[in-house]
Amino acid sequence: MIIPDFLIINENGLYCKTGDFYIDPIQPVATAVISHAHGDHAVHGNHTVYCTAATCAIMELRYKKNAGNEFNIYDYHEDFIINDIKITFIPAGHILGSSQILLVYNDIKYLYTGDYKLQDDATCEPIEFVQADVLITETTFADPEVLHPDPVSEIKKLNQNTHNVLLGAYSLGKSQRLIDLITKHCPDRKVLVHHSITPINKIYESYGFKPGKSEPYNRKLMKLPGQNFVYLVPPMTFDSYFRAKNVIRIFASGWKKLQTQNDMELFISDHVDWNDILNMIDKVKPKEIWTLHGNGNHLKTFLNDKIPLKLLNRC
């Protein structure tokens, strides 16, 4: 029997009452199971952390000694137990080391997706599908009007001219994917990376996922017009270059609001769109769906009680 309050949201985040632990807490807690290393899922200062090795490596890079007091590292498909709950990490396809978290208690399977994507990405482990009684899914882009375009077609937009490009993207995950896409599909482009991206690239390489060709940013090179350079920078740096001359400003994201006031749109997202969520539901075959991180109302209306849906999120 599905436990209705198996997972609840409190001031510290998503709490598993039965197991007395948190999943991707938003505040430091005693016991945290972490799906991936993005800051909105992996806060610093937790006492005991359960995650994949790559997630641990990235957290330690970013948070140093404050990453966590004790790390328990598990491979994909390697079961472990916390207070009678069997837990397994399943590849989520979001970034390096990202995991869906399968929780089994009294023969009921609860699958927490974390952030996930179904599109191909050569820079991380591809998503795997498992069936579960309850699917706990993100709904970042759960809107029938949001359909992500093909990332290869999007990245090929950079071949339309030879102007130098200031390309904004998150340092972890998105940047590595962009380097790979540019290397493969924009052979005349040369990628220069912000200093914050380089150490993350090295972690990716250490786990066998070489992003592609890039080199450290060179200010003199970017001042040369029409040289096909792409300067890949994190959001804060991108925002600080709003008066940059002789460059095309582009920000890679699935959010339309982040495309405004730029010189070109580049819709490349590391989250599922509407069709992907429906595909995920078809693969998982859940008896119930619980939603997080976004607006699940469109999905609730679409399902029309064919599958019971509960909104866990506060927004």
Torsion of CA 71, 77, 78, 81, to 10 degrees: 80
158 and 106 within one domain:
no
Residue 227 pLDDT class (50, 70, 90 cuts): confident
pLDDT at 313: 57
Residues 277 and 242 in one domain: no
Is residue 1, in this structure, part of any structural domain at all?
no
Q: What is the mean pLDDT of residues 215-222?
A: 81
For residues 155 and 139, membership in a common domain is answered with no
How many Å apart are CA 109 and CA 132, to the nearest integer?
5
pLDDT range class, residue 315, cuts 50, 70, 90 = very low
Is the confidence at residue 244, as pLDDT, over 90?
no
Written as six digits, the tokens of 134 are 């309850």
**Dist CA 143 CA 57 (whole Å):** 34
Q: Which CATH number does the domain housing residue 194 bear?
A: 3.40.50.10710
- Rounded to two decimals, what is the model's pTM? 0.95
* 177-194 pLDDT, tens digit each: 999 999 999 999 999 999
Q: What is the CATH classification number for the domain harbouring 95?
A: 3.60.15.10
pLDDT in tens, 4-32: 999 999 999 999 999 999 999 999 999 99
Q: Which of 47-56, 164-173, 252-261 shows the lowest per-residue confidence on average (mean pLDDT)?
A: 252-261
Asked, for residue 2, whether it belongs to a domain, the answer is: no
What would the mean pLDDT of 267-284 be, rounded to a whole number? 97
User: Does residue 305 lie in a domain region?
Assistant: yes
Say if residue 137 is in the same domain as residue 23: yes
- Asked if residue 12 belongs to a domain, the reply is yes
Judge whether residue 168 has pLDDT over 50.
yes
Indicate if 15 and 126 belong to the same structural domain: yes
Instruction: Name the residue type at position 311.
Output: L
Note whether residue 33 is domain-resident. Answer: yes
Report whether pLDDT(251) > 90. Answer: yes
Average confidence score pLDDT of the chain:
94
* Residues 155 and 256 placed together within one structural domain of the fold: yes
Q: Do 136 and 14 fall within a single domain?
A: yes
- Partners of 32 in the β-ladder: 22, 49
One domain for residues 261 and 276 = no
Do 238 and 161 lie in one domain? The reply is: yes
Q: Residue 207: is its pLDDT beyond 60? A: yes
The answer to whether residues 55 and 135 belong to one domain is: yes
Q: Which residues neighbour 194 within 8 Å (Cβ) at sequence distance 6 or greater?
A: 171, 217, 231, 232, 233, 234, 237
**Residue 228 maps to a domain:** yes
Domain that holds residue 174: 151-266
Distance between CA atoms of residues 156 and 87, nearest Å? 41
Residues 176 and 239 grouped into a single domain: yes
Do 128 and 170 fall within a single domain?
no
CA distances from 159 to 58, 194, 283 (A): 32, 22, 36
**Cα torsion angle, 261, 266, 272, 278, sign:** positive
Residue 71 lies in a domain: yes
> How many domains in the chain?
2
Distances (CA, A) of 51 to 24, 37, 87: 10, 9, 11
Which segments of the chain are extended strands (E)? 7-10, 13-16, 21-23, 31-33, 46-51, 68-73, 80-82, 85-91, 99-105, 108-112, 134-139, 164-168, 190-193, 215-216, 229-233, 247-252, 264-266, 288-294, 309-311
Arithmetic mean of pLDDT, 80-85 = 98
